[in-house]
Amino acid sequence: MAGEIYDNQGRGDAAWSWPPIHPEGRKFGLIAVAVSLFFLSPWIDIEIIGWPLLLLSLGVFAFFRDPERVVPQAENAIVAPADGLVSLITEVEPPEEMVADDGSGNPGLSPGPVTRISIFMSVFDVHINRAPVAGTIRRLVYIPGKFMNADLDKASEENERQHIMIERGDGVAIAFTQIAGLVARRIVPFVKPGDTVAKGQRVGLIRFGSRVDVYLPAGTDPKVLIGQSVIAGETVLAELGTQGLIEGISQ
């Protein structure tokens, strides 16, 4: 019918539903359930352990929830790659691994200060990470490191992390970094170099709380503030080619 408005799944009526559990987390949830039922079984019957473990298993399923997202379609919009709190907005040099020649023949980021937006994910946030722009995965670099508090600025250079660079069709490159933290011990990629991704597409996850840094191209100002909560695939962090959208950002 002309003029009818549909939701993001092509339905005429929107309705709330339980978010699905990502396959990466189902095995952990099922293991937790099995262990809790073992302690609650008649031949063991240690309720003081079994019931807390059963509640913990529900928490594990909730941690790996994977809700659908409505991605902004504006071509120049850079969307948040992670759910969480904007903890830092600062001027930095881009990661060396994203600038140096990696021998692939694909250019890296240009050297020089850029704006970095850091998004801190607590254990209560959705931990599926999404592509901030559409394009081709040009670099995916894993770096082993420490597991200090991901909320610290130096975690960007010292913690275990994984850099991802996406090149848009117009040649503009956007890089972001998945950073492990105190509890997080595994960064899981869903993509590889050469893959083509859509804006908002799932590209990986970090298990059990961490941080994601986004490096904006030079001359691109953020549209978010420190302390703001953002939603992966939905919140617009910045728009390419815009300047001076927000005054007074702490550098």
Catalytic residue among 17, 210, 229, 250: 210
Measure the CA–CA gap between 100 and 210, rounded to whole angstroms. 26
> Residue 160 CB: number of other CB atoms within 10 A?
22
Q: Give the DSSP letter of residue 178.
A: E
- Residue with the two structure tokens 């063991």: 44
Q: Would you call 210 a catalytic residue per the annotation?
A: yes
Q: Helices marked H in 64-177 — which ranges?
A: 96-99, 155-158
Measure the CA–CA gap between 21 and 67, rounded to whole angstroms. 8
Per DSSP, the residues of 7-71 read: -TTS-SS----PPPBPHHHHHHHHHHHHHHHHHHSTTT--HHHHHHHHHHHHHHHHHTB------
Q: Which amino acid appears at position 180 of this protein?
A: A
Q: Give catalytic residues, as residue numbers.
A: 210
